[in-house]
Chains A and B, each alone.
Chain A
Amino acid sequence: QSALTQPASVSGSPGQSITISCTGTSSDVGAYKFVSWYQQHPDKAPKLMIYDVSNRPSGVSNRFSGSKSGNTASLTISGLQAEDEADYYCSSYTPSTTLIIFGGGTKLTVL
């Protein structure tokens, strides 16, 4: 299975909004609600930010939101803060022996 496609980098200024895309196929992202997003700060473990396309776990700021259209899922961060600077990864269920695939990751820089 091929990895999901994410932009290598995005940037924004404090207070702005940014969107990170995650493109798959009609067999994975497009077919199921099982898309999740993870935040990873340098040398830290990933942290779940969004699951099932648009659900936020308890404790995650409502500045983070998720959506999906066709084969592309998106993570939007509003009111950018310095602490949001991190790598972000999407993942999706795929009906193959490799059950779960990740995107290549997007580095978010807060200018």
Chain B
Amino acid sequence: EVQLLESGGGLVQPGGSLRLSCAASGLIFSTYAMSWVRQAPGKGLEWVSGISATGGTTYYADSVKGRFTISRDNSKNTLYLQMNSLRAEDTAVYYCAKWDWNDYWFAPWGQGSLVTVSS
């Protein structure tokens, strides 16, 4: 069974930084693309970023481009999201998900990690 476990969320001040991690198990991690999707409190889903299986290609939503960096360490079966210059509007639960690179769907998803940007 594939399991994805996010960590690293918490409270950060506006302008601050945070790094999320997503530990994967139950799959050959290095053969799958991965993504981050977020959900603001009481709101809908928003795709944030995606990365190819090798890590050589990355994609970002316009809302986070230049501030967030996605990466992966296939030797550790772990996905990362480095978030800089955080804003109040970045407050959300961040989910990592296995991403079908060809058909643009996500399954399965992790349980999520809450990031709160507030002074």
Contact = CB atoms under 8 A, between A and B. Distances in A.
B67 interface: no
Nearest to A37: B105
A45 to B, nearest CB: 4
Contacts, number: 70
Contacts of B45: 38, 46, 89, 91, 102, 105
Interface residues of B, number: 24
Contacts of A52: 103, 105
A69 interface: no
Contacts of B104: 34, 36, 91-93, 99-100
Q: Which of B62, B65, B105, B112 has the most CB of A within 10 A?
A: B105
A33 B103 CA distance: 8
Interface residues of A, number: 26
A45 B44 contact: no
A13 to B, nearest CB: 26
B112 A45 contact: yes
A46 B109 contact: yes
Interface of A: 1, 3, 33-34, 36, 38, 45-48, 51-52, 57, 89, 91-93, 97-105
Interface of B: 37, 44-47, 50, 59-63, 65, 95, 100, 103-112
